Amino acid sequence: MSEANKNVSRRGFLKFAGTAGIGSVIGSKVFAEPNDPNGPKEQSNQPLELPKRKLGKTGVEIPCLALGVAFNAVDNQIILRKAVDWGATCWDTSHFYENGNSELGIGKFFEKNPDARKKIFLITKASIAKSVEDVEKLLQTSLERMKTDYIDLYFGVHGLSSPARLNDEMRKWAEKAKERKVIKYFGFSTHYNMADCLMAASKLDWIDAVMPSYNFRLMQDKKLIDAVQACYDAGVGVIAMKTQGEGNLAKRSG
């Protein structure tokens, strides 16, 4: 490993993470840069860790920024290592990111750093699953790739656009998966018709967390704001993605 890679700065890490995809727990603050006039007056040699927030009714505290591992983690182990160093220990990936090289890279990291697994709140998604049988198959693949016995938060629906998919069959699968201890929490991500999907989640006690797009464009939409509030009131954790702004407001909010 080159000396340059050994000395990846916090600024450089955040720049990379922002490009790869970074999400946040809604309502959180990020830490300041060392030379930020609004940051701490005294600097120490210890890394500044990200503040944490409780993820809804799970009670689990996770960093206010999540690392989106939407990159080839097999060839970018330094980013995973620096994420741990800087306290960015909520990792969000998917079965199909980088043709599987995201999950495979995480598995490589855990294999070399077995003690790191207990520090990471690991999220992955059942990409392109059409049935609960697909969800189970994809989960088993993800577990094998990432060299882990469990997923902290499993999005059994990746890109939910219709609340109808949150049916009784999916509920039973999620409950049994928790009983088998292959997942701790269950939820979904959503890019379109988000307000309706989030509102539906707020009424289902088996949905632990959701991941919608949420940014300066979308936060002006009252229907979406009401849905986020409904999730908050019901104890459903909300993790924002695409926080830098992307896409059409009318199409995304629903």
Percent of the chain at pLDDT exceeding 90: 73
* For residues 95-105, average pLDDT: 97
| Of the candidates 155, 152, 89, the residue with the CA atom closest to the CA atom of residue 116 | 89
| 47 contacts 33 by C-beta, under 8 angstroms | no
**Sequence ranges of the domains in the chain:** 3-29+45-244
Q: Residue 210: is its pLDDT beyond 60?
A: yes
Q: Which of 122, 84, 121, 83 is nearest to 103 (CA)?
A: 122
Q: Which amino acid is at 167?
A: N
Query: Would you tell me how many other CB atoms lie within 10 Å of the CB of residue 137?
Result: 14
pTM of the predicted model as reported, rounded to 2 decimal places: 0.82
pLDDT at 45 over 80: no
Which of 138, 231, 147, 213 lies closest to 177 in space, CA to CA?
A: 138
CATH class of 3-29+45-244: alpha beta
